[in-house]
Structure 1
Amino acid sequence: MSAPRLSPHARLHYDRRRESWVLLAPERVLVLDDVAYAILRRLDGQHDVARLAAALAEEYDAPASAIAEDVREVLEDLRRKGLVQP
């Protein structure tokens, strides 16, 4: 994915009842783990996956290669579900 972003019908929302971040879409609520939330909150449609992974690697002081793989997996899964656009 070159510059991923959330699909127009999807949005991040903090659910007070669940005390966690969720991804809302028509007839769907996906409860996000910390990794997915860290990735999705940075999606703006202007930064490619490599830049996104580099920013996360710096923030969490982790190897960029490992972070990049996690980012690709999360985004690809959500792309297949129609919640992220390339």
Structure 2
Amino acid sequence: MERAAIPYLPRGVRIRRDDVRDQWVLLAPERAVTLDPVAHAVLSAIDGDRSFGQIVDDLAGRYSAPPEEIAADSAGFLKALQDRRFLELK
């Protein structure tokens, strides 16, 4: 994923807390994906305004991790969501 790409959750896709199961989920029409803490951190940083590069830099600073490692892991995760239409890019 290019650093300038701006990821966003399309209409009908949202992050919600499943209180029954005590976990975060990504909801879309007729579909749901359980989120681990890393996935939740990445998706929570997406606001539709910030670029992928800005999100990576923010996460790297917040978690004291190498930006290139966060970029590689996040890009793969977000690409998989994009392929399943849970995520789009501007």
Under a length normalisation based on structure 1, what TM-score does the superposition of the two structures give?
A: 0.95
Alignment of 1:1-86 (within 5 A): 1=1, 2-86=5-89
Under a length normalisation based on structure 2, what TM-score does the superposition of the two structures give?
A: 0.91
- The C-alpha deviation readout for 1:5-47, integer Å capped at 9, x for no partner, is 0111100000011111000111111000111110111111111
Give the secondary-structure state (helix, strand or coil) at the position aligned to 1:30: strand
Runs of 4+ that moved beyond 4 A? none
Amino acid at match of 2:60: A
**Separation of aligned partners in 2, 1:83 and 1:74:** 11
Unaligned runs of 5+ in 2: none
Amino acid at match of 1:81: R
Percent of paired sites with the same residue? 37
Unaligned runs of 5+ in 1: none
